[in-house]
């Protein structure tokens, strides 16, 4: 058991049998009354975000989460297969756990997988990845009615908004957290 003083960003807490990751926290000491900890937590399995407040000194149950480096190998139907970069063992992760990270996942890409008692909780990508645009309409120079953006499909099949000057076969940098275009990559 831990107490509220151990709460930090990234700590995984077990509440009613479910695992929650602390996204944000704030220790508050008001002028009157006791201190408390205000947290914003994300459910590891469902992705639901909630706010929860604890009185200072309250006992909490933390979960043992092991983050390890893996390399993505291939998609096998409903499972995504990863290889542990230390032991070279393969791990099949269900599509539910991979969730939206599949939109930015390329073969041989390095990722981190959080494990709890050997079971994968979630797949963590780098903050940005480089992807190639496989299809986009040609942008017209005078067309600015859409704010200068157009849809483009990248090599993973995901569609993002890019500036009008981006053409097919252009390599671009994409933010894996928001899916936003960050810039062109000059090879």
Let me know whether 134 and 162 are in one domain.
yes
Let me know whether 111 and 152 are in one domain.
no
For 2-23, the pLDDT digits (tens) are 888 888 887 888 888 888 888 8
Cα distances from 97 to residues 119, 124, 152, 157, in angstroms, run: 10, 11, 26, 19
pTM: 0.72
Let me know whether 147 and 132 are in one domain.
yes
Give mean pLDDT, residues 17-37: 88
Let me know whether 137 and 169 are in one domain.
yes
Total domains, the chain? 3
Let me know whether 74 and 50 are in one domain.
no
Let me know whether 114 and 161 are in one domain.
no
- Write the DSSP symbol of residue 31: S
Among 154, 126, 152, 127, smallest CA distance to 139 is for 152
Range of the domain at 30: 2-62
Let me know whether 11 and 37 are in one domain.
yes
CATH at 170: 2.40.50.140
Three-class SS of 150-171 = EEEEECCCCEEEEECCCCCCCE
CATH at 48: 2.30.30.30
Give mean pLDDT, residues 45-68: 87
């Amino acid at each position: 058991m831990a107490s509220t003083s151990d709460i930090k960003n990234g700590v995984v807490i077990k509440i009613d049998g479910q695992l929650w990751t602390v996204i944000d926290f704030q220790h508050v000491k008001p002028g009157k009354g006791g201190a408390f900890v205000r947290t914003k937590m994300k459910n590891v399995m469902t992705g639901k975000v909630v706010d929860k407040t604890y009185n200072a000194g309250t006992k909490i149950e933390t979960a043992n989460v092991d983050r390890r480096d893996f390399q993505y190998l291939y998609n096998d139907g409903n499972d995504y297969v990863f290889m542990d970069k230390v032991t070279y063992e393969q791990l099949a992760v269900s599509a539910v756990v991979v969730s939206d990270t599949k939109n930015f996942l390329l073969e041989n890409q390095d990722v981190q997988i959080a494990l709890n008692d050997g079971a994968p909780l979630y797949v963590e990508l780098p903050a940005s990845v480089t992807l190639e645009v496989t299809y986009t309409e040609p942008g017209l120079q005078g067309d600015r009615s859409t704010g200068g953006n157009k849809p483009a499909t990248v090599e993973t099949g995901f569609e993002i908004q890019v500036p009008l000057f981006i053409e097919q076969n252009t390599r671009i940098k994409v933010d894996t957290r928001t899916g936003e275009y960050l810039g062109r990559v000059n090879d």
